[in-house]
Amino acid sequence: MSASVLGQSVRRKEDYRFLTGAGTYTDDVSVPGQLYAYFLRSPHAHARIRSIDTQAARAAPGVAAVFVGADLAGQVNGLPCGWLITGLDGQPMKEPPHPPLAQGKVRYVGDALAMVVAASLDQAKDAAESIAVDYEVLPAVVDPAQACAPGAPLVHDEVPANTCYVWGLGDKAAVDAAFAQAGHVTTLAFVNNRLIPNAIEPRAALAQYSRGDDSYTLHVTSQNPHVERLLMTAFVLNLPEHKVRVIAPDVGGGFGSKIFLYPEETVLTWAARQVNRPIKWTAERSESFLADAHGRDHVTRAELALTKDGKFLALRVHTTAAMGAYLSTFASCIPTILYATLLAGQYSTPRIYCEVTAVFTHTAPVDAYRGAGRPEATYVVERLVETAARELKIDPAEIRRRNFITQFPYQTPVALCYDTGNYPATLNEALRLADVAGFESRRKEAESRGKLRGIGYSAYIEACGLAPSNVAGSLGARAGLFEAAEVRVHPTGKVTVFTGSHSHGQGHETTFAQVVAERLGSSVEDVDVVHGDTGRIVFGMGTYGSRSLAVGGTAIVRAVDKVIAKGKKIAAHLLEAAEGDIEFAGGKFTVAGTDRELPFAQVALSAYVPHNYPLDKLEPGLDETAFYDPTNFTFPAGCHICEVEIDRATGETRIVNFTAVDDFGKVVNPMIVEGQVHGGLAQGIGQALLEACVYDRETGQLVTGSLMDYALPRSDDLPSFRVATQETPCTHNPLGVKGCGEAGAIGAPAAVMNAITDALWPLGIRDLPMPATPQTVWRALQSAPKPRGTRA
């Protein structure tokens, strides 16, 4: 057997089909007799629907049907929220109904209120233009900080002050007491800017109903088809779950935005039976902007209490988090369970209190977006830490060292228990790779060119593979958090893996094949991975929260181990040895201490051609299934160091160096991991420098409704990254893996903003809002307290 395939940069098996245009995305799937759907969306942020006249649309050429909210009433329930948050007052969060087509009122620009089904998309659009809606336009509120102010327009009449919940975590009294004793307090106020995910493939769905057996097939751009099916059948459409097959074929990126159950595919599935024809819908980019769930949108005030020598005493945070107009599938747990629990960061801060007010606004729903709560938490902690270091004139690396957690397991004051980590190691490696020692001379050189150069750190932590199910359930989760896998060994020893995880860019087909090939001693080519189909895969919770390898991969390992255990029984029979004497390694079953051996493929053949086989004791076949529910989160962590140059004349910031040293535990495929880090960093840098979702404060119109106004990062906005990994294996899964998908987006924003504020600190500028656009920086420079300030 050759060297281990774990840790090898095996080329992605899926890339051949993607790069040669042979992938199958939802919009590539077409079936005979298919109709096309178009959704009429609200042009107003808030309006009462006095009437909708669809008569002309129903009579328009090619139109098969027109559905409005009233047509669904009584048959289609509202979309559910998957996490119940209980407030400080002991009351459950407010869950106003979320009808898939608006009923009575529209609550954001883009809120769907009618679906037209026609023979062609153009006919559906033509017909939609003839729908006459009489709106009574009402005042709107889009800013979360304004939403709970007295007199703010109400998104839902039954939710006073637009407040979904007020939730808290930590010991408030102890924190207040620590602040009273503090030698120094650093305070910052932040807006964590709202982002629009923009996966390269827009959302799409194709719903089919089969009259013959009363079954449904839904192709949909989903990160978790089983969850989609469960929510849709059990809660919204009241359909028999076993009669609905949900297929998420090749999916072109998700970043969280394709986790959720959306109105469009729900109405499509219901309507496919009403019209007895397949119906397809594919979002246009402008619809993605309007109606995909957005991310972030926090307004926060945060304070860090320290001793004079920089030892953290306590952290106090208040955040107002926007939910948008309706609760999306996991909206409620993002700014709570996935945010407040991360506020310890990498530090042994003994006391932490966080209070979160979740509010409805007249905007698209807000939910998980790459990082989901953890970038927001990291931003709070790392901006505070860096600012405190500057205020106390302590080196930013040194203040972190003084406060790092070094003993594991470590119980934080905000519920999590870190199993392992080595924070000084990632910091030291980042300092080395980034050549921090040479920064001062680079800064001086930049100064001679009229540029302000700054350096910033971000020592982030994330919690991945949300678990275990019973604990999450006690915290309000309405879903399980395990993963399922089936390993089917074919008679020739080739393997098909059926995983409940879903790949939409992560390279699972390669990484999972490496894991299985390693364990079975076979080649990566002999292992195929199937995902994204409730008709083929036993069950699954899908892909989110950087969980696929840690949770889904472990389920696969467990199934493989069952295969090996059964194989030992078969081998024992064939080799006429005791089962306990059989060893399996390098793809061979061996009788310990002898040269008697059988290759794996021969054992597999015996399982399917059981002529010489212990049929009295063992079933034929070699196909095993495992469900795995983790005992804890995994805790990837790392240190990012960003170096920027600011053009004083224009305010433009260029990232000149970016170093990321991440501890993801064991790495299966370094190339794929590096790609994940690069993508995450791009999105994190996008948030820091470029991206901002802007709604007009008066009208609630989406100002950044296209790529002409919403600035996504491009390759030339980014530097050539220096990335490296450190390995502190996770202690509670057999692969020792932690997760890498979100790290870049979590760590980068604080690193970038710490670098910018480092460059501007001598001028008396201590904070800037994200994104730090040229105009924002220029304005800060114009009003800098010490415009000619230089370093001491």
Which residues are near other proteins by CB under 8 A?
Answer: 122, 125-126, 286, 649-650, 652, 690, 692, 694, 703-704, 707-712, 773-775, 778-779
Query: Could you tell me the two tokens for 210?
Result: 């089969």
Q: Which is nearer to other proteins, 62 or 473 (CB)?
A: 62
Nearest to 51 by CA among 118, 119, 135, 127: 135
Q: Which is nearer to other proteins, 297 or 533 (CB)?
A: 297
| Ramachandran assignment for 505, one of left (phi > 0), alpha (psi -120 to 50 degrees), beta (any other) | left
Q: How far is the CB of 217 from other proteins (least distance, A)?
A: 30
Q: Which is nearer to other proteins, 179 or 289 (CB)?
A: 289
Burial class, 718, CB count within 10 angstroms (exposed 0-12 / middle 13-18 / buried 19+): middle
DSSP sequence for 532-547: SBTTTSS----S-TT-
Residue 472 near residue 416 (C-beta atoms within 8 A)? no
HSE, CB side, 13 Å, CA atoms: give it for residue 338: 29
Q: How far is the CB of 359 from other proteins (least distance, A)?
A: 23
Q: What interhelical angle do 743-760 and 774-782 show, nearest 10?
A: 30
Residue 746 near residue 375 (C-beta atoms within 8 A)? yes
Q: How far is the CB of 234 from other proteins (least distance, A)?
A: 39
Query: Could you tell me the two tokens for 80?
Result: 């559910």
Nearest to 32 by CA among 244, 280, 199: 280
Q: How far is the CB of 743 from other proteins (least distance, A)?
A: 25
Q: How far is the CB of 683 from other proteins (least distance, A)?
A: 15
Q: How far is the CB of 705 from other proteins (least distance, A)?
A: 11
Q: How far is the CB of 129 from other proteins (least distance, A)?
A: 8
Nearest to 733 by CA among 558, 613, 477: 558
Q: How far is the CB of 120 from other proteins (least distance, A)?
A: 11
Query: Could you tell me the two tokens for 662?
Result: 């991440």
- Taking the C-alpha atoms of residue 682 and residue 714, their distance in angstroms, rounded to an integer, is 8
Residue 271 near residue 68 (C-beta atoms within 8 A)? no
Q: Which is nearer to other proteins, 191 or 671 (CB)?
A: 191
- Taking the C-alpha atoms of residue 397 and residue 201, their distance in angstroms, rounded to an integer, is 41
Q: Which is nearer to other proteins, 462 or 691 (CB)?
A: 691
Q: Which is nearer to other proteins, 627 or 778 (CB)?
A: 778
Residue 72 neighbours by CB under 8 Å, 6+ apart? 99, 100, 101, 267, 270
Q: Which is nearer to other proteins, 410 or 778 (CB)?
A: 778
Q: How far is the CB of 779 from other proteins (least distance, A)?
A: 7
Q: How far is the CB of 654 from other proteins (least distance, A)?
A: 13
Q: Which is nearer to other proteins, 91 or 650 (CB)?
A: 650
Q: How many CB atoms lie within 10 A of CB 190?
A: 21
Q: Which is nearer to other proteins, 618 or 694 (CB)?
A: 694
Q: Which is nearer to other proteins, 615 or 707 (CB)?
A: 707
Q: Which is nearer to other proteins, 418 or 710 (CB)?
A: 710
Q: How far is the CB of 200 from other proteins (least distance, A)?
A: 15
Distances (CA, A) of 405 to 424, 517, 712: 9, 37, 36
Q: How far is the CB of 651 from other proteins (least distance, A)?
A: 8
CA torsion 613→619→623→626, rounded to 10°? -130
Burial class, 415, CB count within 10 angstroms (exposed 0-12 / middle 13-18 / buried 19+): middle
Q: Which is nearer to other proteins, 99 or 771 (CB)?
A: 771
Pairing type for strands 184-192 and 410-411 reads unpaired
Q: How far is the CB of 773 from other proteins (least distance, A)?
A: 7
Residue 164 near residue 94 (C-beta atoms within 8 A)? yes
Q: Which is nearer to other proteins, 610 or 769 (CB)?
A: 769
Q: How many CB atoms lie within 10 A of CB 713?
A: 18
